[in-house]
């Protein structure tokens, strides 16, 4: 074995050994130290920041671009994915990179519903006294779990970054990462199972301070999962590559109920063989169990007037109920609304700016989640920044920040939301043209999807009565801002209802209620997927959606 270097990782005080020239991120992952990485280790997400106090390779061009010259030169900041360690020393994981378990994450209405036990379906499948049942929503970027006791009461909940995000920021790039062969798929799946195991471990630790051991796992009587179709296949160990090809059909589509022992590999997530596993049915390649559970949770399938469910996440699902049908569309929006891909982006946790006002003189005021100074912008903050810039006349309809002499907050293609003195990191929070473009692409994907669904259903935009907005972004989103940026197309005057993690709520209901299971199966049978490729002018609708043309700020 070649020379091994020893790194002390602060503040965890973990020791990591790494061969000379070894990649720092790989060494972290091997030791179970996870960073919020959201690209294929190519330096584009800029989230795997660490401070390196050990001999290492020279700072690369991509790091200078991502972190800025000042930060790399004076503070020793590096991207872990681009750092090769050449000697022993110390690595500091800064606060902005410690978001693995999303402490203080905003929980929406779904949590109030599960806490109060007011599911829309009667609870009749509770675990035995002393045992537990868990529901897990496998989001593209976030894994969310809920643990229930023998009364069907919520015992604990938690949320963490999906470790498979390392292999691509959305489902398409994640599938591309295991195109090469079985080994790549196995690596992605083991990331998924590691994440599931950590969520269960945390749920148990939070409920009764129980260590997740053989003893505790035997007390997990049942676990229900929902997620997009790709995540559900990865969980089961079925390579979903074919889903990416026409006719985009899932290999596993029906509701699944099995003992964990019959699903190879689940034991590595710490799930005992005797635990019953329930998996939500899917509809189509990109319309998965999360969309089905979301519809069941909001009872969209019983809506008496036209209504829409928008699940705003990395993989955005939308379902329209109207004219007796349930029409579903999936938009790959990327993780912009989850706070990633934005230069100063972060999750909606303490320290994130989620509201912004910019007045006519370009003076800025903002709201920070939790106590203290800001350290970044969450997805809602990014949308608020675009809306505020538009209202202040500081953004063109094509999405460029207008140069202005009246304030030093505006530089070339950038706007300073918070100066270095105002933030907890000592770095300014800056919003750039590139960030505007990320929001622009994501909002255009949603706007085009909504338009496509309305057309498919033969409905006028004005007939829509209600829009349920799901996802942690949706719980905080300002309805007016969504209209201003054009995520909700003009002409829609529907009431906007934030519903929190509707998929997680539906999955919890599926876990605990036989009536909910019937509803979920019924919804999956009735839902009709709308394929963008079959719509003649979809591309034109999308391109039109890129512009910022809300009447409120037209000159």
Contacts to ligand FES by CB under 6 A: 37-39, 41, 43-48, 79, 81
**Cα–Cα distance for residue pair 83/100, rounded to 1 Å:** 20
Between 14 and 41, CB nearer to ligand FES: 41
Q: Which of 183, 116, 180, 194 is nearest to 152 (CA)?
A: 116
Taking the complex as a whole, the smallest distance from the CB of residue 79 to ligand FES amounts, in Å, to 4
Between 38 and 293, CB nearer to ligand FES: 38
* DSSP string for residues in 221-284: EEEEEEE-HHHHHHHHT--GGGGGSTT---S--S-EEEEGGGSTTGGGGT--TTSEEEE----B
Between 188 and 467, CB nearer to ligand FES: 188
Taking the complex as a whole, the smallest distance from the CB of residue 81 to ligand FES amounts, in Å, to 3
Taking the complex as a whole, the smallest distance from the CB of residue 243 to ligand FES amounts, in Å, to 25
Please, where are the H alpha helices in 429-501? 433-457, 472-476, 479-485
DSSP 184: H
Taking the complex as a whole, the smallest distance from the CB of residue 381 to ligand FES amounts, in Å, to 21
Q: What is the CA radius of gyration of the chain?
A: 23
Taking the complex as a whole, the smallest distance from the CB of residue 335 to ligand FES amounts, in Å, to 11
* Closest residue to ligand FES in the complex (CB): 81
Per the listing, tokens 């608020």 go with 384
Contact 487, 351 (CB under 8 A): no
Q: What angle do CA 454, 460, 461 make, to 5 degrees?
A: 75
Between 339 and 500, CB nearer to ligand FES: 339
Taking the complex as a whole, the smallest distance from the CB of residue 48 to ligand FES amounts, in Å, to 4
Q: Other CB atoms closer than 10 Å to residue 71's CB: what's the count?
A: 20
**Cα–Cα distance for residue pair 507/291, rounded to 1 Å:** 10
Instruction: Locate 487 and state its tokens.
Output: 């995520």
Between 29 and 283, CB nearer to ligand FES: 29
* DSSP string for residues in 43-76: SSS---EEEEES-BPPPPHHHHHHH-HHHHHHH-
**Cα–Cα distance for residue pair 220/151, rounded to 1 Å:** 14
Between 42 and 254, CB nearer to ligand FES: 42
Between 61 and 403, CB nearer to ligand FES: 61
Between 177 and 210, CB nearer to ligand FES: 177
Between 29 and 516, CB nearer to ligand FES: 29
Q: Which of 269, 4, 23 is nearest to 145 (CA)?
A: 269
Between 145 and 191, CB nearer to ligand FES: 191
Taking the complex as a whole, the smallest distance from the CB of residue 382 to ligand FES amounts, in Å, to 18
Q: What angle do CA 398, 402, 408 make, to 5 degrees?
A: 150
Decide the pairing of beta strands 527-529 and 325-332.
Answer: parallel
Between 81 and 390, CB nearer to ligand FES: 81
Taking the complex as a whole, the smallest distance from the CB of residue 416 to ligand FES amounts, in Å, to 23
**Cα–Cα distance for residue pair 135/153, rounded to 1 Å:** 13
User: Omega into 127 within 30° of 0, i.e. cis?
Assistant: no
**Cα–Cα distance for residue pair 171/177, rounded to 1 Å:** 10
Per the listing, tokens 């868990």 go with 134
Instruction: Locate 48 and state its tokens.
Output: 């795997």
Taking the complex as a whole, the smallest distance from the CB of residue 374 to ligand FES amounts, in Å, to 22
Taking the complex as a whole, the smallest distance from the CB of residue 192 to ligand FES amounts, in Å, to 17
Taking the complex as a whole, the smallest distance from the CB of residue 391 to ligand FES amounts, in Å, to 33
Give the 3-state secondary structure of residue 293. helix
Query: Residue 35: which residues within 8 A CB-CB, separation 6 or more?
Result: 25, 28, 47, 48, 49, 50, 80, 93, 97, 100
In 41-165, the DSSP E strands lie at 49-53, 77-79, 84-85, 89-92, 132-138, 142-148, 154-161
Taking the complex as a whole, the smallest distance from the CB of residue 330 to ligand FES amounts, in Å, to 24
Taking the complex as a whole, the smallest distance from the CB of residue 82 to ligand FES amounts, in Å, to 7
Torsion angle of the four alpha carbons 432, 435, 439, 441, in this order, in degrees rounded to the nearest 10: 110
Between 7 and 79, CB nearer to ligand FES: 79
Taking the complex as a whole, the smallest distance from the CB of residue 467 to ligand FES amounts, in Å, to 33
Between 177 and 407, CB nearer to ligand FES: 177
């Amino acid at each position: 074995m070649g020379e091994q270097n020893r790194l002390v990782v602060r503040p965890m005080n973990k020791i990591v050994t790494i061969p000379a020239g070894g990649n720092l991120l790989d060494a972290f992952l091997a030791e179970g130290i996870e960073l919020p990485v959201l690209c294929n280790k190519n330096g584009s997400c800029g989230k795997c920041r660490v401070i390196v106090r050990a001999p290492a390779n020279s700072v690369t061009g991509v790091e200078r671009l991502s972190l800025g010259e000042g930060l790399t030169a004076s503070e020793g900041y590096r991207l872990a994915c681009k750092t090769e360690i050449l000697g022993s020393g110390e690595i500091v994981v800064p606060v902005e990179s410690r978001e693995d378990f999303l402490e203080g994450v905003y929980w929406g209405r779904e949590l109030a519903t599960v806490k109060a036990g007011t599911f829309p379906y009667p609870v009749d499948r509770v675990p035995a006294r002393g045992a537990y049942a868990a529901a897990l929503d496998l989001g593209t970027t976030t894994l969310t779990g809920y643990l229930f006791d023998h009364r069907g009461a919520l015992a604990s909940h938690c949320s963490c970054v999906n470790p498979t995000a390392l292999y691509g920021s959305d489902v398409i790039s994640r599938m591309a990462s295991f195109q090469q062969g079985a080994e790549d798929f196995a690596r992605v799946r083991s990331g998924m199972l590691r994440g599931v195991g950590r969520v269960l471990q945390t749920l148990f630790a939070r409920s009764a301070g129980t260590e997740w051991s053989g003893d505790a796992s035997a007390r997990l009587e049942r676990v229900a999962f929902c997620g997009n179709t790709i995540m559900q296949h990865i969980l089961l160990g079925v390579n979903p590559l074919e889903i990416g090809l026409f006719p985009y059909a899932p290999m596993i589509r029906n509701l699944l109920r099995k003992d964990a022992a019959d699903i190879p590999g689940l034991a590595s997530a710490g799930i005992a063989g005797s635990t019953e596993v329930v998996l939500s049915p899917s509809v189509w390649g990109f319309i998965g169990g999360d969309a089905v559970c979301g519809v069941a949770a909001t009872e969209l399938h019983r809506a008496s007037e036209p209504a829409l469910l928008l699940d705003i996440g990395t993989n955005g699902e939308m379902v329209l109920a109207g004219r007796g049908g349930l029409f579903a569309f999936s938009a790959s929006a990327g993780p912009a609304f989850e706070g990633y891909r934005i230069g100063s982006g972060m999750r909606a946790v303490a320290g994130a700016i989620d509201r912004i006002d910019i007045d006519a003189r370009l003076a800025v005021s903002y709201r920070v989640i939790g106590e203290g100074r800001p350290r970044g912008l969450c997805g809602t903050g990014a949308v608020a920044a675009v809306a505020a810039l538009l209202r202040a006349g500081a953004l063109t309809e094509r999405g460029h920040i207008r140069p202005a002499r009246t304030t030093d907050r505006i530089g070339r293609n950038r706007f300073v939301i918070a100066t270095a003195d105002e933030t907890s990191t000592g770095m300014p929070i800056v919003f750039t043209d590139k960030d505007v473009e990320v929001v622009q692409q994501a909002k255009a994907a949603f706007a085009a999807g909504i338009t496509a669904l309305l057309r498919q259903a033969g409905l006028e935009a004005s007939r829509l009565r209600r829009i349920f907005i799901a996802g942690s972004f949706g719980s905080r989103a300002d309805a007016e801002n969504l209209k201003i940026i054009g995520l909700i197309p003009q002409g829609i005057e529907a009431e906007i209802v934030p519903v929190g993690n509707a998929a997680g709520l539906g999955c919890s209901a599926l876990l605990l209620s036989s009536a909910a299971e019937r509803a979920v199966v019924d919804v999956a049978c009735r839902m009709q997927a709308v394929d963008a490729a079959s719509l003649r002018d979809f591309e034109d609708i999308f391109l039109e959606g890129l512009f910022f043309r809300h009447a409120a700020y037209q000159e």
